[in-house]
């Protein structure tokens, strides 16, 4: 297909700029609070090849239902199927504002208002960002799909982890060199784990972002011999322990307990928690002891 990008390096730079410019300049990046605060700071952007073997490995790790980039792309464009090597996964990390993290650190049971607003109003912006990237790539002659916005996306039952989805934003970010998994399942990145993620799959050649880690727990203190467990101590329902994260304990708290609190205390429909993402050594960066 024709494209306005003349080299793979140019494509990477243009796509990264496309994402960062929208986050920096769109009025939709907003908490919708009286002060009009942004929901997200400047993002990190990474790339991985659609042919990266990790995407096949996720079928064993997450579940056989987890899409490879090739699968979700060809379901979207069945008349013009692509080979895995023709595709790039574009992944981004949207860090919470410092003020949002500070507010949530003070909480012990429920999310702060800023955190809940970022979860609801901020996620609505991420949907717009996904659509924006797909549309702008289309204008450049590049076919793209955001898996979570696809009608083919759904939640499923993972043999290992209970409920899961057909496309994991965290696993896409891990493959794209953006971070590794912590004890509470959050992705620890160079800007920490207090964030939300997004991605698109595009028919474009972009150099993969190097993965500066050799295993999926490389940035977690607990899994690297340190006495931490800070995220477990922050959890109000003991959904995080030395073995990991229990979704069956976590989700009822996030929705059934925190949901009514958000409506009553803050005046809008929402939910969230995020206590394990704040007030920890990995909240805003890779712990100093594990930096290369």
Q: In the chain, count of helices (H) and strands (E)?
A: 10, 10
Structure tokens at 119: 């979860």
Beta strands 244-245; 144-145: pairing state: unpaired
Q: Are 148 and 134 in contact (CB under 8 A)?
A: no
pLDDT tens-place values along the chain, 292 residues long: 334 577 899 999 999 999 999 999 999 999 999 999 999 999 999 999 999 999 999 999 999 999 999 999 999 999 999 999 999 999 999 999 999 999 999 999 999 999 999 999 999 999 999 999 999 999 999 999 999 999 999 999 888 777 789 999 999 999 999 999 999 999 999 999 999 999 999 999 999 999 999 999 999 999 999 999 999 999 999 999 999 999 999 999 999 999 999 999 999 999 999 999 999 999 999 999 998 7
Return the residue matching tokens 């759904």: 154
Q: Are 95 and 194 in contact (CB under 8 A)?
A: yes
Q: Report the half-sphere exposure of 109 (CA within 13 A, side-chain side).
A: 7
User: What is the pLDDT at residue 2?
Assistant: 39
**Burial (CB count <10 Å: 0-12, 13-18, 19+), residue 241:** middle
CA angle at 217 for the pair 251 and 245, rounded to the nearest 5°? 20
Among the listed residues 192, 80, 190, 184, the one whose alpha carbon sits nearest the alpha carbon of residue 142: 80
Alpha helices in the chain (DSSP H): 8-25, 53-61, 69-76, 98-105, 113-117, 123-139, 169-175, 230-234, 247-252, 258-266
User: What is the pLDDT at residue 4?
Assistant: 59
C-alpha dist (Å) from residue 20 to 45, 232, 256: 8, 33, 35
Q: What is the DSSP letter of 86?
A: G
- Sheet architecture: strand order including 144-145: 44-49, 88-95, 195-202, 144-145
Q: List, in order, residues 6 or more apart from 33 with CB less than 8 Å away.
A: 113, 114, 117
Structure tokens at 58: 């996720």
User: What is the pLDDT at residue 1?
Assistant: 36
Distance of alpha carbon 261 from its chain centroid, rounded?
A: 25
Q: Report the half-sphere exposure of 272 (CA within 13 A, side-chain side).
A: 28
User: What is the pLDDT at residue 200?
Assistant: 98
User: What is the pLDDT at residue 239?
Assistant: 97
Structure tokens at 5: 């990008």
């Amino acid at each position: 297909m024709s494209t306005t990008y003349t080299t793979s390096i140019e494509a990477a730079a243009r796509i990264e700029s496309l994402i960062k410019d929208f986050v920096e300049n769109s009025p939709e990046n907003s908490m919708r609070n009286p002060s009009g605060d942004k929901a997200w700071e400047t993002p990190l952007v990474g790339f991985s090849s659609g042919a990266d073997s990790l995407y096949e490995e996720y079928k064993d790790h997450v579940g056989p239902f987890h899409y490879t980039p090739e699968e979700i792309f060809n379901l979207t464009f069945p008349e013009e199927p692509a080979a895995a090597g023709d595709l790039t996964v574009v992944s981004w990390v949207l860090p919470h504002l410092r003020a949002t993290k500070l507010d949530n650190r003070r909480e012990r049971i429920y999310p702060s208002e800023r955190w809940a607003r970022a979860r609801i109003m901020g996620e609505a912006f991420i949907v717009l960002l996904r659509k924006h990237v797909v549309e702008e790539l289309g204008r450049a002659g590049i076919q793209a799909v955001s898996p979570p916005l696809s009608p083919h996306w759904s939640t499923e039952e993972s043999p290992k982890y209970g409920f899961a989805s057909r496309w994991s934003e965290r696993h896409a970010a891990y493959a794209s060199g953006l971070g590794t998994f912590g004890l509470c399942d959050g992705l620890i990145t160079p800007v920490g784990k207090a964030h939300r993620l997004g991605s698109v799959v595009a028919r474009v050649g972009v150099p993969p972002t190097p993965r500066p880690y050799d295993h999926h727990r490389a940035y977690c203190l607990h899994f690297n011999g340190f006495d931490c467990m800070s995220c477990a101590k922050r959890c109000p329902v003991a959904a995080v322990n030395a073995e990991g994260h229990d979704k069956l304990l976590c989700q009822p708290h996030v929705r059934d307990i925190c949901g009514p609190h958000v409506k009553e205390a803050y005046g809008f429909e929402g939910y969230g928690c995020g206590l394990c993402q704040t007030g920890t050594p990995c909240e805003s960066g890779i712990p100093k002891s594990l930096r290369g």
